[in-house]
């Protein structure tokens, strides 16, 4: 007897069952029953999107948010989820986070969503790995180490700080975060490319860069008119601008600006004849420039804003902070610029900055991927799964910090182990290469701010993780000038 043909409605459930069986067998073959049970507990959420929307839900940045609180309470500090289109292990555990970051390139690897790669470019420090990453990061670290104690760099900070503070005269209220973004972006463009803010090319660069930045917090929809599509186009324009500047610098072969000032900028470093740098192609140079500007612009402006926010809420810390800067100013002649030796005296300022990073959580989490099956304290992290170390977890862990929600700069001298219990700038081979440069920028600007103005933060303001830190209303601050200290 002939077999009856199978129509599509009959065939589809059969194929679906066969596919499910094949996937189950493959999973069991890859992770035996006695092993896969050790994958951390958790929930996977909806198909494809998983729990991504809940994970990214905005919350006060001086907390870990409802999503993490609930899951840590239910499953522990390490749990499984489904995030950014992939099964994932999420960690709020300090020891596990350090293990992940210290094993970069061995057991784990940076793995950012493709949407971010479309904006950052294939040669961004956030994207590349292995020897390529070590080479590009080494250049950034070298520039940061050279610049942080440079009088030229210090002079640039102070010149722009004076200009901004003077522009506030006669104003009673400012949108502080927006002002800090103007300050840090202008400073980074000057430091990286030796372009003054008032130059036409600088204005074009600044406008494109702001559009570029908006792409990081937009839906990854590359359709005409979307913020993401505009960011991709802005990145292309920035690339062309940087390449034009590189070409002009190479043609003139000059080390000074039009005003006769030494460049001493990042572009000068990447155009040097050092063998490892000479091998960089133009796209690598462009990515290196944008990475440095990005790091110095976004996180530094937010960090200054967090310091201002938390100092307003801690009168004792603000008083100690101001006294430190008054003492430094008393020991300098009228109009004498700040120098490296002054920064080294700013012990309490550095503690204030570190505490603002701990409480405000500049970076909530990092993107990693397991390169192989990894076992840690009885947990299995399957090969290919995303791994998200949440830096805010250890920073706000009540088992690690006394009064963990309290802004207390003195804890950085009282607790000798606190550096091992906080994660402000990442860790391991990918720790932020420009963090030391940013600390000098923050300290020098705040020196002049605290001596020039009193401020009061609006009551309805607080930092929010989006996951990038913003303020509820842009950090509107009431200001009142004090006697000139210049």
At 480 the three-state DSSP class reads: strand
Q: How far apart are CA 179 and CA 183, in angstroms?
A: 6
- CB-based contacts of 433: which residues, under 8 Å, 6+ apart? 125, 137, 140, 141, 144, 295
Tell me the two tokens of residue 423. Answer: 């994660």
At 2 the three-state DSSP class reads: coil
List the alpha helices (DSSP H) in 1-150: 8-30, 33-36, 52-55, 65-75, 94-102, 114-120, 130-147
Q: Which secondary-structure segment (H or E) carries 88?
A: strand 86-91
Tell me the two tokens of residue 312. Answer: 């307003």
Contact 415, 436 (CB under 8 A): no
Q: How far apart are CA 212 and CA 192, in angstroms?
A: 17
Q: How far apart are CA 441 and CA 154, in angstroms?
A: 8
Q: How far apart are CA 253 and CA 247, in angstroms?
A: 10
Q: How many Cα neighbours within 13 Å face the side chain of 172?
A: 0
- Characterize the bridge pairing of strands 463-465 and 59-60: antiparallel
| 432 marked as binding residue | yes
Tell me the two tokens of residue 289. Answer: 């420039």
Tell me the two tokens of residue 73. Answer: 């309470």
Residue ranges for the known binding site are 432
Residue ranges for the known binding site for heme are 432
């Amino acid at each position: 007897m002939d077999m009856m043909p199978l129509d599509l409605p009959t065939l589809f459930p059969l194929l679906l069952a066969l596919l499910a069986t094949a996937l189950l067998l493959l999973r069991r073959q890859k992770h035996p029953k006695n092993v896969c049970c050790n994958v951390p507990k958790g929930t996977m959420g909806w198909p494809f999107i998983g729990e991504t929307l809940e994970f990214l839900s905005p919350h006060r940045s001086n907390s870990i948010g409802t999503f993490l609180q609930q899951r840590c309470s239910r499953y522990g500090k390490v749990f499984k989820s489904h995030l950014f289109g992939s099964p994932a292990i999420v960690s709020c555990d300090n020891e596990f986070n350090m293990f992940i970051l210290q094993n970069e390139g061995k057991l784990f690897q940076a793995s950012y969503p493709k949407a971010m790669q479309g904006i950052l470019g294939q040669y961004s420090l956030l994207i590349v790995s292995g020897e390529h990453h070590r080479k590009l990061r080494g250049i950034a670290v070298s520039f940061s180490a050279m610049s942080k104690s440079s009088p030229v760099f210090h002079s640039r900070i102070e010149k722009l700080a004076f200009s901004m503070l003077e522009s506030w005269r006669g104003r009673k209220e400012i949108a502080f975060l927006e002002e800090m973004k103007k300050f840090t972006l202008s400073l980074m463009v000057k430091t990286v490319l030796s372009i003054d803010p008032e130059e036409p090319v600088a204005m074009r660069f600044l406008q494109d860069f702001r559009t570029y930045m908006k792409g990081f917090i937009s839906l990854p929809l590359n359709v005409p008119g979307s913020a993401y599509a505009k960011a991709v186009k802005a990145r292309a324009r920035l690339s062309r601008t940087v390449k034009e500047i590189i070409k002009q610098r190479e043609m003139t072969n000059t080390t000074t600006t039009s005003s006769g000032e030494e460049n001493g900028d990042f572009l000068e470093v990447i155009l040097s004849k050092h063998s490892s740098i000479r091998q960089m192609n133009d796209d690598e140079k462009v990515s290196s420039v944008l990475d440095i500007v990005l790091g110095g612009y976004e996180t530094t402006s937010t960090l200054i804003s967090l310091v201002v926010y938390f100092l307003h809420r801690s009168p004792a810390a603000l008083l100690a902070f101001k006294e430190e800067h008054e003492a430094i100013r008393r020991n300098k002649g009228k109009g004498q610029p700040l120098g490296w030796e002054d920064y080294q005296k700013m012990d309490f300022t550095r503690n204030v900055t570190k505490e603002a990073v701990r409480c405000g959580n500049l970076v909530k989490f990092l993107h990693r991927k397991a390169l192989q099956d990894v076992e840690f304290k009885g947990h299995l992290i399957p090969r290919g799964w995303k791994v998200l170390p949440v830096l805010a977890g250890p920073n706000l862990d009540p088992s690690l910090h006394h009064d963990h929600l309290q802004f207390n700069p003195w804890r950085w001298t009282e607790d000798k182990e606190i550096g091992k219990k906080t994660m402000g700038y990442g860790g391991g081979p990918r720790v932020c290469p420009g963090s030391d440069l940013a600390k000098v920028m923050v300290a020098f600007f705040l020196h002049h701010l605290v001596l020039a103005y009193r401020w009061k933060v609006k009551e309805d303001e607080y930092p929010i993780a989006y996951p990038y830190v913003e303020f509820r209303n842009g950090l509107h601050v009431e200001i009142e000038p004090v006697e000139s200290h210049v």
